[in-house]
């Protein structure tokens, strides 16, 4: 008999004395019984700890003027923005909907940075009118639109220009954003970055504060950030020489990788940031320029391992000599990432697997779609059956935020855990919610 040997991915996961899987010390079966499944659970204490870890690291390495912005596309709902306000974080937002949600949560929008490669005129007017602190400007069309709208509103809008430094982060192609041919930003290599800088300096209603870049996501190699920082500082020095413009801020984006599976490393966030700072300080001195204010935008690495999704097993289908399927009451509607780019996850039974024989299964969802797969090759107890609970770990980032109503399936609720106490952050959708906009 082969038994499952478990190693927990993070220290907020455990099994209690009965062998039940827990998040933040709270047993998952009790939460499933109270709220139903599928169910998103978030360890709020872990989110706060990550915020403080980043803020402390940036303060120690880059000083009091440094900024940590939560990339809220990773998980966007009112409670998240309330936490970010309470922790003194900035945020980045990418749509009118995220801005509106942050406003409803009472987040100070002066601490918000507005991203997106295609902001509509309505987006721009809304964001300026609501007092969004910064726009991260992707292209010249957007720059002209901001200038026109800000001037008409009698405003002067602070901006950063998003640049592509031409750095390959060696990650999923779908989340690689730093290459010259990216859909985001103006390329330094082609001269377009210099052109848009000169344009920004010439327009009314615009206050150019500096430059932004983002190289991609799930990056474990700190050397990629150092390479990116070198290119950005070189560009700052070039603009100082050629245009007489000295940037006061550089935003290096986010993208730190997280442990979805045991093979993924654990990043020392403080150590990585310290080494980036050491390089930037020395290199700015070499270039003869003052080091700009430095910002970073972690998203996934703040919320990912705070999240677990709990499912109930439905059909268990075994095809002798081929494969076995374990179907759950969720799937690509609450977690499309495997369907999108084959992202790996760790999936465990909620009840104790100790002493159980196991088999390799495909854990699949309930959608009428062959690609509705959560993970292939998952070790599940051989006796797993309908009605048992399983948990997909590290689902705090890009699961709720990318969830859909495909097949008209209602989205799960979001429940926060803090100090052993649970609270509902987003209620479960019902069929009436799914059809609410139909006329």
Q: What is the pLDDT of residues 322-346, one digit of tens each?
A: 999 999 999 999 999 999 999 999 9
What residue spans of 63-186 are helical by DSSP H?
78-86, 96-104, 121-129, 140-152
Average pLDDT, the chain: 94
Residue 117, Cβ density class (10 Å: 0-12 exposed, 13-18 middle, ≥19 buried): middle
Instruction: Assess whether pLDDT exceeds 80 at residue 172.
Output: no
Location of structure tokens 């996961």: 13
Quote the tokens at residue 435: 């059809």
Four-way CATH pick for 115-298: 3.30.9.10, 3.20.20.10, 3.40.30.10, 3.30.43.10:
3.20.20.10
Instruction: Assess whether pLDDT exceeds 70 at residue 169.
Output: no
Dihedrals φ, ψ of 417, to 5°?
-120, 130
Boundaries of every domain in the chain:
13-43+305-434, 115-298
Number of other CB atoms surrounding residue 281 within 10 Å: 14
Looking at residue 181, its pLDDT comes to 61
Calpha distance 337→371 (Å, rounded): 11
Instruction: Assess whether pLDDT exceeds 50 at residue 351.
Output: yes
Residue 323, Cβ density class (10 Å: 0-12 exposed, 13-18 middle, ≥19 buried): middle
DSSP-assigned letter for residue 219: B
Percent of the chain past pLDDT 70, that is, above it, reads 95
Q: What is the pLDDT of residues 210-241, one digit of tens each?
A: 999 999 889 999 999 999 999 999 999 999 99
Percent of the chain past pLDDT 90, that is, above it, reads 91
First-to-last alpha carbon distance for the chain, in angstroms, is 58
Q: Which CATH superfamily is domain 13-43+305-434 in?
A: Lyase, Ornithine Decarboxylase; Chain A, domain 1 (2.40.37.10)
Give the residue with greater pLDDT, 356 vs 232.
Answer: 232
> Active-site residue numbers?
368
Which stretch of DSSP H or E encloses residue 399? none
């Amino acid at each position: 008999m082969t038994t499952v040997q478990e190693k927990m991915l993070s220290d907020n996961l455990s099994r209690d004395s009965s062998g039940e899987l827990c998040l933040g010390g709270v047993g998952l079966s009790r939460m499933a019984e109270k709220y139903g499944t599928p169910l998103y659970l978030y360890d709020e204490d872990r989110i706060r700890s990550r915020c403080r870890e980043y803020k402390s690291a940036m303060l120690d390495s880059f000083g009091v003027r440094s900024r940590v912005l939560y990339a809220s596309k990773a998980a966007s709902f009112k409670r998240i923005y309330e936490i970010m306000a309470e922790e003194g974080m900035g945020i980045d937002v990418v749509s009118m909907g995220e801005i509106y949600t942050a406003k409803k949560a009472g987040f100070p929008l002066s601490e918000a940075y507005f991203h997106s490669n295609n902001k509509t005129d309505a987006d721009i007017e809304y964001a300026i009118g609501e007092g969004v602190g910064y726009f991260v400007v992707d292209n010249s069309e957007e720059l002209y639109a901001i200038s026109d709208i800000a001037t008409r509103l009698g405003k002067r809008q602070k901006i950063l220009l998003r640049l592509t430094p031409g750095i390959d982060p060696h990650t999923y192609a779908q989340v690689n954003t730093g290459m010259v041919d990216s859909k985001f930003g103006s390329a330094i290599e082609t001269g377009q970055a210099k052109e848009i800088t000169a344009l920004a300096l010439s327009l009314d209603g615009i206050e150019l504060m500096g430059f932004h870049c983002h190289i991609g996501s799930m990056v474990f190699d700190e050397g990629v950030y150092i390479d990116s920082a070198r290119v950005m500082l070189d560009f700052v020095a070039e603009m100082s020489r050629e245009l007489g413009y000295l940037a006061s801020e550089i935003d290096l984006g986010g993208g730190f990788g997280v442990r979805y599976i045991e093979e993924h490393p654990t990043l020392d966030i403080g150590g990585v940031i310290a080494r980036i700072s050491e390089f930037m300080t020395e290199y700015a001195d070499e270039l003869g320029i003052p080091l700009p204010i430095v910002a970073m935008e972690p998203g996934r690495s703040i919320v990912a391992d705070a999240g677990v999704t709990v499912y109930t097993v439905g059909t268990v289908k075994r095809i002798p000599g081929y494969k076995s399927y374990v179907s759950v009451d969720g799937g690509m509607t609450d977690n499309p990432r495997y369907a999108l780019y084959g992202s790996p996850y760790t999936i465990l039974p909620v009840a104790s697997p100790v002493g159980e024989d196991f088999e390799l299964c495909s854990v699949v969802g309930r959608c009428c779609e062959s690609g509705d797969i959560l993970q292939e090759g998952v070790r599940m107890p051989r006796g797993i059956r309908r009605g048992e609970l399983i948990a997909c770990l590290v689902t705090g980032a890009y699961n709720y935020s990318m969830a859909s109503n495909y097949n008209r399936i209602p989205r799960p609720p979001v429940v926060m855990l803090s100090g052993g106490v649970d609270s509902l952050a987003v209620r479960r959708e019902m069929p009436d919610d799914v059809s609410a906009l139909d006329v």
